[in-house]
Structure 1
Amino acid sequence: MLEGLPPNGASHVMRVDVPEHQARVIAEYLGESFDPAEVATSAFEIEDRAEGSGWAVEAYFAEAPDEEGVRELIALISPEAAAAAVFSTLDKKDWVAASLEGLAPVAIGRFVVHGSHDRDRIGGGSTIGIEIEAALAFGTGHHGTTKGCLAAIAATGKRRRPGRTLDVGTGTGVLGMGAALLFRTPVLASDIDRVAVATARENARANHAAPFIRFLHAPGLGAGEFRAGGPYDLILANILLAPLKGIARPLRPLLAKGGTVVLSGLLPSHANAALAAYRAQGLYLKRRRTIEGWTTLELTADGSRPRR
């Protein structure tokens, strides 16, 4: 996983080797603690180590960091990791290669999400490659929420082919593109952020998914375009708990009979609160996935008994 990308120029780097569960938490915590325009963090597996496999965290800073301040943040998760952190400097020519080393392709079912640096390594056949640039932090496929949603999309395709898909909070467009490329049916992808919509539209063009996807800049689900494009056999919403609860009521009339709703952006402790909001709208739990500390819910209105 890679969070953010600092500006060009000399970059300072912090590295520490830690167990996998600590690596992911430290990288996300540091990523949330600094301006993403100034700091990038990555957590990745170290291969071919003589003493066996392991994980590392690297944080790249556009300016020289406050080393003690960074250690204090890491110490909140692991004092041992804070003491072991090593700081150094990278030249501009080394920065991009170093940052991309930790951003390996991610395979979820038939999907392989990758950066342009791995374009030539992605095989053909039944593989569906989705190329997202590493500079786009959330939605590169390396986050547990994106993985959970792509797994849910793949599972939906095994049961039935959705005629129409709605992607709420599309971000980089990775989920909408996944549905479009797998099902080859219409997708409406919306986001509250104009920049996200423009970025997702460009990504769809680059991935040859644009003919299937219509993009919409809109907050919530109140715009008439949502109703005009529905009902939807598959609705995807990878956002956060508060907005997920807020769209529960207007989302329900947009769902086609027998359709599936996929919710993510949820910590495990938040999942039941989201589920309660949708149960109040007559939706039931089909499957719950928790990947890398994030929960994805698959819901339906078919009357099935809810699962825990």
Structure 2
Amino acid sequence: MGQARYFARGTQPAADRAYAALDAAFGDEGLPVSIFEWDEAAGIFEVAVYFDVSQEPAQDAAIAAFAPLTPEREDLPDVDWMQSVLAELKPVRAGRFLVHGAHDRGRVKANDIGIEIEAGQAFGTGHHGTTAGCLQLIGDVLRRKAPQTALDLGTGSAVLAIAIARLGRIPVLATDIDPVAVRVAVDNVRANGVAGLVTGAVATGFAGPAFADGARFDLIVANILAGPLMRLAPQMERRLQRGGDIILSGILARQRRAVLAAYRDQGLYHRRTLQMGDWVTLHLTR
């Protein structure tokens, strides 16, 4: 049985309204509903919902839920998408880290630090240049230093928190604005055997019970977007221990100077830039 995708693009407020309406109408039925930034420069977001082609009444309700946006329909071929994705999703190496799915456990070698993350759960399977860049710099920092505490801000799948815990054997706080992402992160943490080191929590930036004690961290990793990273620069500085390290990504190469300027204003020093494709990962210290 094939699928149909209804999608629309618009400003963030309009897309947020459509996403909330679609999620309220179809989330409990298990239908996939998504939203993402389609064009960062123009501030355009895409929201979508997926149906089996037999669900015509539900599709009619979805068209109304998109208002004020006008959705388009795309018919998708009848493909076993998970098998297709798994066939193409090869293990990713970043230093000693090897990020892989369950189907590739056999590829983890004796000296590898394997991190098992399944495709489609949450952002961060290691295949995006931002995640791979963070993994590379995490390995570099932990080879030279021995931090005692770490924060993975915007954890997504928890791949970075797992990497820090497995290599550094230190406690890691892994936070995300999305409760679903945090649940996925906690599941991944358990599956990778570091539940005793990684704590998952819902938080918007540094607001939330997880930060109520005012604790500082020796290592902060944040793979989000350039805009939020610049806004969070003062709080990042306050939460970083003296001599500590920050690894930032989710930054396009053309945004690098603006992000560095925001952190330089807080007295943080640029140590290294790692570029992968159009994306950069930054290493700074206090």
Note whether the superposition's TM-score is higher than 0.5.
yes
Which residue is 1:244 aligned to?
A: 229
1:187 aligns with 2:172: yes
What is the Cα deviation at residue 247 of structure 1? Answer: 1.0
1:258 aligns with 2:243: yes
What is the Cα deviation at residue 129 of structure 1? Answer: 0.8
Computed over aligned residues only, the root mean square deviation of the Cα atoms, in angstroms, reads 2.6
Which residue is 1:197 aligned to?
A: 182
Which residue is 1:68 aligned to?
A: none
Contact 2:271 2:284 in 1 (8 A): yes
Contact 1:240 1:265 in 2 (8 A): yes
In the alignment, residue 100 of structure 2 is paired with which amino acid? H
> Alpha carbons of 1:101 and 1:158: their partners in 2 closer, same or farther (altered >3 Å)?
same
In the alignment, which of 152, 174, 190 is matched to residue 137 of structure 2?
152
In the alignment, which of 256, 260, 263 is matched to residue 275 of structure 1?
260
Q: Over residues 83-119 of structure 1, what are the superposed CA-to-partner deviations in whole Å (9 max), with x where a residue is unaligned?
A: xxxx99445xx44322212100001011000111112
1: CA distance between counterparts of 2:86 and 2:213? 41
What is the Cα deviation at residue 242 of structure 1? Answer: 1.4
1:215 aligns with 2:200: yes
Identity of aligned residues (%): 45
Which residue is 1:83 aligned to?
A: none
What is the Cα deviation at residue 225 of structure 1? Answer: 3.3
Q: Secondary structure at the match of 1:228?
A: coil
Task: Tell me the TM-score normalised to structure 2 length.
Answer: 0.73
1:1-308 mapped onto 2 (5 Å cutoff) = 9-10=1-2, 35=47, 38=50, 89-91=77-79, 94-123=80-109, 125-136=110-121, 138-223=123-208, 225-226=210-211, 228=213, 230-301=215-286
Contact 1:145 1:291 in 2 (8 A): yes
2: CA distance between counterparts of 1:167 and 1:194? 15
> Mind listing any 5+ residue stretches in structure 2 that lack a counterpart?
5-36, 54-74
Contact 1:176 1:187 in 2 (8 A): yes
> Alpha carbons of 1:289 and 1:251: their partners in 2 closer, same or farther (altered >3 Å)?
same
Q: Secondary structure at the match of 1:230?
A: coil
Contact 1:139 1:174 in 2 (8 A): yes
In the alignment, residue 268 of structure 1 is paired with which amino acid? A
2: CA distance between counterparts of 1:103 and 1:267? 23
> Alpha carbons of 1:293 and 1:245: their partners in 2 closer, same or farther (altered >3 Å)?
same
Contact 1:190 1:217 in 2 (8 A): yes
1: CA distance between counterparts of 2:136 and 2:281? 9
Q: Secondary structure at the match of 1:210?
A: coil
What is the Cα deviation at residue 231 of structure 1? Answer: 2.2
What is the Cα deviation at residue 227 of structure 1? Answer: 6.1
In the alignment, residue 118 of structure 1 is paired with which amino acid? D
1: CA distance between counterparts of 2:182 and 2:215? 20
> Alpha carbons of 1:161 and 1:227: their partners in 2 closer, same or farther (altered >3 Å)?
farther
1: CA distance between counterparts of 2:98 and 2:84? 21
Q: Secondary structure at the match of 1:171?
A: coil
1: CA distance between counterparts of 2:204 and 2:76? 43
Which residue is 1:15 aligned to?
A: none
> Alpha carbons of 1:111 and 1:11: their partners in 2 closer, same or farther (altered >3 Å)?
farther
Contact 1:173 1:200 in 2 (8 A): yes
1: CA distance between counterparts of 2:136 and 2:223? 13
> Alpha carbons of 1:90 and 1:223: their partners in 2 closer, same or farther (altered >3 Å)?
closer
> Mind listing any 5+ residue stretches in structure 1 that lack a counterpart?
1-8, 13-27, 39-60, 64-86, 302-308
Contact 1:227 1:254 in 2 (8 A): no
> Alpha carbons of 1:136 and 1:225: their partners in 2 closer, same or farther (altered >3 Å)?
closer
